[in-house]
Amino acid sequence: MQNLAATSPGRSMHQMKGARAHLWLESSGDWAWPGLRGGEAAAELQPPPWIPTLPRRAPAPAHGGAEDTTGPSQRALRRRYGTSLLLAALASVCVGLALDGRANFERLAGLRPTPARSTAARSLAPPPQSLPTVSPLSHDAAGSSIDSSSYSSVALHGPGSFLVYLPPGYASTAAHYPVLYLLHGNHQTADSFLQIGLQRTLDRLIAAHTIPPTIAVMIQGGPGTNDWRDRGEVGEEAYVLEVQRLIDRLLPTIPTRAARAIAGYSMGGYGAMHLALTHPRTFATVESWLGFFDGLAAPLRADHPTISRLGLRAYLYGAASDEIADPAENAPFAAQLRAAGADAHSAVYPGEHDFETLEAHLEHMLAFAGHAFSPAR
């Protein structure tokens, strides 16, 4: 890859059209391939303990959110509450003795380990911190909306955020939806998917019944280079999985592998493929748009048994005049995916490494992912 200077993310595709400088989605000047970590396990991460279980889009709390007012009346109330808890605990011991004698007493008193189910339930108790909400940003004439959420990411050790496309009819039904996760390129932003027409294209495909109603999550990468890999204390790979699990708890999703797809453009295409291969039990469909495949042969070999058993749908495409991501890499890597048991397709389209090429093939790519969500499959 050439060390090309990145053009300002604020410039639209139309401003770049026709100019040679529109090879701008990536810059290799400030990043290097991290390589494979020795002995990296493919086991999925456990959900962060702070992830909430919330219905739909949770409204912001009506109160100011302060948790500790320490006036005398409040302290008295807390003392009375603590006394009530103590009395309730003594009552539980009595009930245990009456119902099951010594066995229940030992368990309630902590002399015997509690069952694993109770331990797990305690570990998932909501933390005493504010929970993220999904807030509406805009809606269009078709009835879909774009929402946003910002929160304190454990994986990034700082702020995380994402945009969400909610399909027409979302607010008036009790339906559950499949989800497409989208990763942007290096030095880009989550709203770049809106620039290339994601909302209107999904509106059109859903209205024509080409794909089922679908939620799309545009994840905003962390600070610095966005290669969607864990680097030091900043875990962008873990961050994507963190968002995925958060979405399954914030929104009415279909929380199964078959109802999840991941895609991205340029470096986001690399990140999408990397995540699909290192977490093969999480995503059933993956797409790489003008992406890279450096260093992905090893996780593909490691995942061969899982892909053979569970299957994987993949679409890889490049641009014939791309001077950043070599389009000749798509067909060989698709062949490697097929050898591992995936249903993989590749193509090289006219165009360059730019938004114009992405916009030209967005409908096809969304239809490919949406087809995997169809009940007939």
In the predicted model, what is the mean pLDDT of residues 247-251?
93
Q: What is the pLDDT of residue 216?
A: 98
Q: Given a cut of 50, is residue 343 above it in pLDDT?
A: yes
In the predicted model, what is the mean pLDDT of residues 249-253?
94
pTM of the model: 0.69
Q: What is the pLDDT of residue 225?
A: 65
Structure tokens at 127: 């933390």
Beta strand extents in the chain (DSSP E only): 135-139, 145-153, 158-166, 179-183, 215-220, 230-231, 234-235, 260-265, 285-289, 313-319, 343-349
Q: Given a cut of 50, is residue 58 above it in pLDDT?
A: no
Rg (CA), the chain: 24
Q: What is the pLDDT of residue 51?
A: 37
Percent of the chain topping pLDDT 90: 54
- Per residue in 218-240, pLDDT tens? 999 976 667 787 666 667 888 99
- Per residue in 126-146, pLDDT tens? 333 346 888 999 999 999 999
332 phi and psi, to 5 degrees?
-60, -40
What's CA 353's distance to the chain center, in Å? Answer: 24
Which residues, 6+ apart, have CB-to-CB distance to 325 below 8 Å?
A: 1, 26, 266, 269, 290, 291, 292, 318, 319, 353
Q: Given a cut of 50, is residue 357 above it in pLDDT?
A: yes
Q: Given a cut of 90, is residue 149 above it in pLDDT?
A: yes
In the sheet that 260-265 helps form, which strands lie side by side, from edge to edge? 135-139, 145-153, 158-166, 215-220, 179-183, 260-265, 285-289, 313-319, 343-349
